[in-house]
Amino acid sequence: MRLSRFFIDDTLASGQVLSLPAHLVNYLVNVLRLKQNSPIILFNGQTNSQPLGEFNATIVELSKRHCRVLIGEFVAVNNESPINTHLFQGISRGERMDYTIQKAVELGVNRITPVSTQYSNSRKLNNKQLQKKILHWQGVASSACEQSGRVAQVEVSPPITVHDMAKHIADFNLLLSPIGENTLSQLNLASNNSVNIFIGPEGGLSTEEIRLAQEYGYLDVTLGSRILRTETAGLAILSILQFLWGDLC
């Protein structure tokens, strides 16, 4: 039986007794219906003080509103991709953006930055609504890490504009376009260790945004003769890149 995994935004150490946050308590009690002495797995995604990995843990106290766990053995796990991928995703609507974030994390993306573009509906959100969106997107990413067995936390950065993308440097920068002049098979990608991927929202990118991206070193590429939805394009190119680097086999 596969044990349930949970991301904890805190320091973890063997022998520590930890009280879990309220949202996890509710999930443990009302969804998973776990009991005292049930085993679970915890990870915090931190890499600065220890190798990547996760902790075995045991529920030692559980009620409807409170849960304490005893943290046990640390198990080293490194299932991260050999290529560092940063997805710059034009903000799409509701469930499409959630789907893109969730599946990109499952496919091994290292970082996701939403991009507010001319045709993004985020331009209609006030600051409070946008902050709520950011927290929601990070929650989607954390849940995807839990489900997929990843132990590194994938950050969803605050939204930026195309003008801000010049600050983010990678070995290779790809701009997906249905009318792109290049294909992945034509490019010598194997010698690069990091790739930035820029994808527009449902309405695509404006001529000015495409021009700016190209000015910042983004090479326009097409994935074939069919036009892919925004939530499909990122997943398609991530899958291809992970296959080329041996992460998917």
Look at residue 211 and tell me whether its pLDDT is greater than 90.
yes
Mean pLDDT of all residues in 64-74: 93
* pLDDT beyond 70 at 47: no
Same domain, 100 and 173: yes
d(C-alpha 78, C-alpha 82), whole Å: 10
* 26, 56: one domain: yes
Q: Are 213 and 175 in contact (CB under 8 A)?
A: yes
Q: Within 10 Å of residue 14's Cβ, how many Cβ atoms?
A: 12
Is there a domain that residue 174 lies in? yes
Q: Which of 58, 76, 94 delimits the end of a domain?
A: 76
Residues 116 and 167 in one domain: yes
The phi, psi pair for 17, rounded to 5°, reads -105, 125
Does 89 share its domain with 163? yes
Shared domain check, 88 and 71: no
Where residue 9 sits, what CATH number does that domain have?
Answer: 2.40.240.20
Residue 86 has pLDDT above 80, yes or no: yes
**What does the pLDDT read at residue 50?**
67
Q: Give a yes or no: residue 249 inside a domain.
A: no
- Do 208 and 147 reside in the same domain of the chain? yes
Q: Return d(Cα 211, Cα 82) in angstroms, integer.
A: 31
Mean pLDDT calculated for residue range 9-32: 91
Q: Are strands 53-62 and 39-43 parallel, antiparallel or unpaired?
A: antiparallel
Residue 151 and residue 69: Cα distance in Å, rounded?
19
| Residue 158, in any domain of the structure | yes
State the total domains in the chain: 2
The model's confidence at residue 72, banded by pLDDT at 50, 70 and 90, is: very high
Of the candidates 52, 76, 100, which is a domain's last residue?
76
Separation of alpha carbons 232 and 185, rounded Å: 19
Alpha carbon distance 73, 54 (integer Å) = 8
In 3D space, the residue among 99, 169, 171, 176 whose CA is nearest the CA of residue 141 turns out to be 99
Amino acid at 222: T
The whole-angstrom separation of Cα 52 and Cα 192 is: 23
* Residue 48 binned pLDDT confidence (cut-offs 50, 70, 90): low
Query: End of a domain among 76, 95, 118?
Result: 76
- Kindly state whether residue 51 falls inside one of the protein's structural domains: yes
* Residues 227 and 178 sit within 8 Å (Cβ to Cβ): yes
Tell which phi-psi region holds residue 149, choosing left (phi > 0), alpha (psi between -120 and 50) or beta. Answer: left
Q: Render pLDDT for 156-177 as a digit per residue (tens, 0 to 9).
A: 999 999 999 999 989 999 999 8
114 and 215 share one domain: yes
Of the candidates 25, 40, 26, the residue with the CA atom closest to the CA atom of residue 70: 40
Which domain range does residue 46 map to? 5-76
Percent above pLDDT 90 for the chain: 67
Instruction: Find the CATH number of the domain harbouring 185.
Output: 3.40.1280.10
